[in-house]
Amino acid sequence: MGVVEVLDPVTPTRTGGWKVDVSRGERNGRVSSEWFNRPDDERYLSLDDLWANVKSRSERSRSRVVQTADIRVEAARDNPERLHLMLPKAHEPVAPTHWAFGQLASIVGAPASYLRQLPAPLAGINLQYGLTNHRAEQVKTFETEDGRTELRAVTGPEYGRIHDHELVEAVQRIAGNGTGDTRWKVPGVLDWSTGVYNPDVEISRDTTTLYASDRDVFLFLVDDHNPIEAGRMPDGSPDLYFRGFYCWNSEVGAKTLGMASFYLRAVCQNRNLWGVEDFQEIRIRHSKYAASRFAHEASPALTRFANSSPQGFVNGIKAARQQIVARTDEDRDDFLRKRGFSKAESGKIIEKVLMEEGRPPESIFDFVQGITRLARDKTQQDARLDMEGRAKKLLDRVG
């Protein structure tokens, strides 16, 4: 693995971590949402354990393209409330998962929620009619043996499957076990009472950020033993960042494959990301050539980020701090109004910086911080993302 250059190294505080300023940058709730919604059986304490689970599942699975007219629907003999499917050349019926049933209903144009409310024999008649008269004719099934055969996915025949274990393996190549054997690990926790971020927290079901369900995987790791200094806070102490990334996939078509890299200042107990800067994201739809794009685009991009120097990011932040664009109240209002902010928004942005920094905004960096702070107050996600996007666009133009 390449060596990451850490600029302006700092000594941990006596409390075992680093003082950070989470009032700056963006707040990202994606990891927190995953953390909040995952039951214990979807939480893993290491990448090895996660990989073993999804790899074993993959080895017990097979995919094939079948004619929809050849699929037979029948009510389960031992449970009249459940449907089974008999696939061509299969010796035993398969039981569709909740997700696969919804996919199958969607493919034939039937409302899954309505079918689920019907008695199984009646739902089966409706589904059988849809399959027999389905004009697309073919679907790709994904079946997994686990005591019985489960139908985990039904997609179009051109679906390009990237297995969950392939993403985990790509992460393992840079992060080892994800528990501290490399610089990449499950994150620590911010102490709100002191403003100190402690990278050394025991990995448990409650703190882990490694997840997998029957339909997806999600992983979040940070390099939080190696802080990066990019300027100073108002009190003269260093403004510290850590590198982080998260990635996700669904081998059954529940979501795209994707990964996001960024710099952040802290992770709190609820796994919210605080002080996020330079957020970059790649998404790959599971189209026909998805596996090739993963091999040639997404996986190398993750490795490049893991092994790259933060010099470019640090230089960008320093340049934004040094680029003075407003020295008077008139300059400040004019700068924001020319970039599409209303008079009311401009006033709030200037007020945010004045409250946090003790002075009005002058540099590009000041304005970016004020915009992202105002974005946090937006209750509608679209409005918040729009404002954060405008802040990022402003920072990207620093030269």
- Give residue-wise pLDDT tens across range 180-208: 999 999 999 999 999 999 999 999 999 99
Least confident of 142-146, 172-176, 270-274, 355-359: 355-359
In the chain, what percentage of residues exceed pLDDT 90?
A: 42
Q: Is the pLDDT of residue 80 over 70?
A: no
- Higher per-residue pLDDT: 337 or 209: 209
Please compute the mean of the pLDDT values over residues 270-291 and round it to a whole number. 89
Count of H-run helices and E-run strands, the chain: 13, 17
- Give residue-wise pLDDT tens across range 98-111: 999 999 899 888 88
CB atoms within 10 A of CB 262: 24
Q: Is the pLDDT of residue 29 over 70?
A: yes
226-249 exposure pattern, b = at least 16 Cβ within 10 A, e = fewer: bbbbbbebeeeebbbbbbbbbbbb
Please compute the mean of the pLDDT values over residues 56-69 and round it to a whole number. 91
Q: Is the pLDDT of residue 1 over 80?
A: no
pLDDT at 81: 59
Task: Say if strands 149-155 and 95-96 run parallel, antiparallel, or are unpaired.
Answer: parallel
In the chain, what percentage of residues exceed pLDDT 70?
A: 94
Confirm if 285 and 254 have CB atoms less than 8 A apart: no
> Tokens standing for 108?
């034939």
pLDDT at 7: 43
| pTM, full prediction | 0.82
Confidence band of 371 (pLDDT split at 50, 70, 90): confident
Q: Is the pLDDT of residue 6 over 50?
A: no
